[in-house]
Structure 1
């Protein structure tokens, strides 16, 4: 609640200072958060996480930046805070944006502009309905009990241009004779872990 209250106080200040806010608030500052919520129908608050530093070191907790702190050319992950709280009071959506400028010459606004780049690198989006995370695949490999020494997952496309997950694995040399069984176990666990849509998996054995 402390974070939500702080963010709400920032919103109150921003709205009190801008022309639109002055018009809606009738030139006066709300006495508190409850009054502000009644006057201004805001439901969420957005800030931006330093995406690349987090990608280089997953244990690193990225700082977040307000809209007036972003830097042109830098890439950010969008972070959403729901001002009314709930199960998803604050979460990272997994979408990556690049700040392309701090102003707009056409309408002469001083508002940062962003362009959508892609999902964050550790999330694979299959057809917009299945999102597969790096940690999720790690969990599946651990659950399988298979002697996997290294792996990489990529999104590829079949001859009909339909996306699927291709998981490349490296196993211990002594386990190569059981490769077919290991592949089937991993495929079954991936299907169970991420959903019943078997069409998103494609099994290729070399």
Structure 2
């Protein structure tokens, strides 16, 4: 149409090419797929930290107020159950019963105060505990309460105590916890779905 000598031409609307539509669809699909993957990473991270917290509580040594303890057998009083050099794992629990083998610290004011003993409970009356070695005819001269017990024997490692030092256990726990923390904080590989999408450049119009 011509008006006053000026030619007005209708400008066509830009066409959406098939390649641009496919790229947009691919980008939308990548974003949608990335969301559950990111959520999964968050869930795994939270679970890993919870597992670390549980490991710290479970593996914390009994002498430091934790649950687990290690006792190296010395002498013949617990034969044939245990022998010199055996390493015994103990677990602290709310209460102890007659017949259980326990590790405890001799209370102050008694012979050998501060020493650690691993013997079997033969009597528990009125909050007082009495033990005896399996190879002994008489009960032990010490009397103590359940609070003096560091744990009940749950696992025996024959002869391992000959190669073990009481200072090894805390360092072993520190190494395990340190390894877990390192694994949790180690940066993960970037997710390809998180990378910005690129579309091929269009060539010049012919």
TM-score (norm 2): 0.24
Highest RCO, 1 vs 2 (Cα 8 Å, sep ≥ 6): 2
Write 1 or 2 for the structure with the bigger share of strand. Answer: 1
TM-score (norm 1): 0.24
